[in-house]
Amino acid sequence: MNLDHVTTSDVAAQDTCALSGPLPFAGMGTLSAQPGFRPVRRRDLMAAVNTVGRDLGLRPASIVVLDALLSCLPCKSAETGTESTITPATLLTVFASNATLCYRARGITDRQLRRHLLRLEEVGLIRRRDSANGKRFPVYRGGKVVGAFGLDLTPLLVRAQELRDLAERRRNEAAELRGLKAHIQSLRAQCLHLDLDDTAVQMVEATRNLMRRATATVVQARAIVRELTRMLTGGSRGPEDDADVPAMPRLDDAVDTPEAVAETRETPATDGQNVRHKESEKPYTKKSCARLQPRFWERLASVPEFYPHPPTSEQGLRRVLYDFGKMLGIGHGAVTMAIGRLGAIGTLQVQDQMAQRITTIADPERYLARALDRAVKPGVGHGQHLPCR
């Protein structure tokens, strides 16, 4: 981020506000040591923080504490009493007591305040400047405050423009999401008038609950629009129309067993760790599908949102893999390759984890290809790829 290098004299600060001599105490926050940043109004800054609080990993209570800290900054005009902008000439180290901060943070307890201050420090929005005895107090020169020990808000102000830009993007996305949700409702109503099979009906019904979640994203909404539009333009598709879907490879020497599913923790695409492989004992059949699916279905985080009831046949599982893959932006060929290399259960688990991180994945097919490269190695003595443990 480009910063505007501004000195106290550039912003018309009084000469007595800047320390020209040696610091009276080491480690305190001073006007002369503050970096440059664009002046910003406190209200605008808090509006941005409220909008991007989830991106910063902050809970509402922590944002309230941050607002209390900002309220302690001396940013009121001495002549008119109106609020002025926060500039590099504003001392950014807050030396108010815990009792004052608790009062301004809507009456939280001292223990709660300490916990939220620690969180604000962890995410890099404040910096502690402790005195030798741990007390907060200002340092004067010529009758004016030129420094202080306390809670330094410099990290927040340095990132002010970045946070405001991010908040603007989030507001634009929220506006787009509202429009997409309305469009999805219209598409859902049209799809429910089609002659759909049970799996497709479950997916259509699940879109309503998914769009009601606070964590729903524009990426998810666009994927749902694409899938619902495909249903409308292509019509319903019954089991007899699945000739275009290649048969699932039979893994006679390795199958997805409950034990392998239970031992699966993360796809190697996310942690980069070495993977181990396990030979299985029974082939994957319709009967084993009906028996195995409930064992691991409840462990999935995103797929059950669209398909509450697990498929009970090999054909039904393939339908879920290809349909959910389309919602993630993964083409038919990429899903087929994943099934051949990871197996049906392994592919479903990768898709489920991709759905949880879809907002951070720019190219889903490339992500899946990297997952396949990292997760699969040739099985010893069989010349085929086996599902990772």
pLDDT tens-place string over residues 329-361:
888 878 888 888 888 888 888 888 888 777 678
Domain that holds residue 81: 15-158
Q: What is the mean pLDDT of residues 196-217?
A: 83
Residues of the chain with pLDDT > 90: what percent? 28
Q: What pLDDT score does 376 carry?
A: 54
**Domain count along the chain:** 3
- Please, are residues 167 and 51 in contact by the beta-carbon 8 Å criterion? yes
Over residues 78-118, the pLDDT tens digits come to: 677 788 899 998 999 999 999 999 999 989 999 999 999 99
Q: Which of 48-62, 191-205, 223-237 is least confident?
A: 223-237
Enumerate the β-bridge partners of residue 129: 150
**243 and 210, same structural domain?**
no
**Residue 138 clears pLDDT 80, i.e. is over it:** yes
Over residues 145-202, the pLDDT tens digits come to: 888 999 999 999 999 999 999 999 999 988 998 898 899 888 888 888 888 888 888 8
User: Mean pLDDT score of the chain, rounded to an integer?
Assistant: 75
Helix pair 314-327, 332-356: axis angle to 10 deg: 70
**379 and 243, same structural domain?**
yes
Over residues 5-29, the pLDDT tens digits come to: 444 434 434 433 444 445 557 778 8
Residue 65, domain member (yes or no): yes
**31 and 67, same structural domain?**
yes
Q: How confident is the model at residue 235 (pLDDT cuts 50, 70, 90)?
A: very low
**383 and 321, same structural domain?**
yes
**257 and 209, same structural domain?**
no
311 vs 224 pLDDT, higher one: 224
**Residue 72 clears pLDDT 50, i.e. is over it:** yes
Q: What pLDDT score does 78 carry?
A: 67
DSSP β-ladder status, 144-152 and 93-94: antiparallel
At 26, the amino acid letter reads A
**Residue 286 clears pLDDT 50, i.e. is over it:** no
Residue 120, domain member (yes or no): yes
**389 and 242, same structural domain?**
yes
**Residue 389 clears pLDDT 60, i.e. is over it:** no
Q: What pLDDT score does 96 carry?
A: 93
**Residue 55 clears pLDDT 70, i.e. is over it:** yes
User: Which CATH number covers residue 82?
Assistant: 1.10.10.10
Residue 305, domain member (yes or no): yes
Q: What pLDDT score does 50 carry?
A: 94
Helix pair 42-51, 160-191: axis angle to 10 deg: 40
pTM of the entire predicted model: 0.57
Q: What pLDDT score does 196 carry?
A: 83
150 vs 263 pLDDT, higher one: 150
**Residue 238 clears pLDDT 70, i.e. is over it:** no
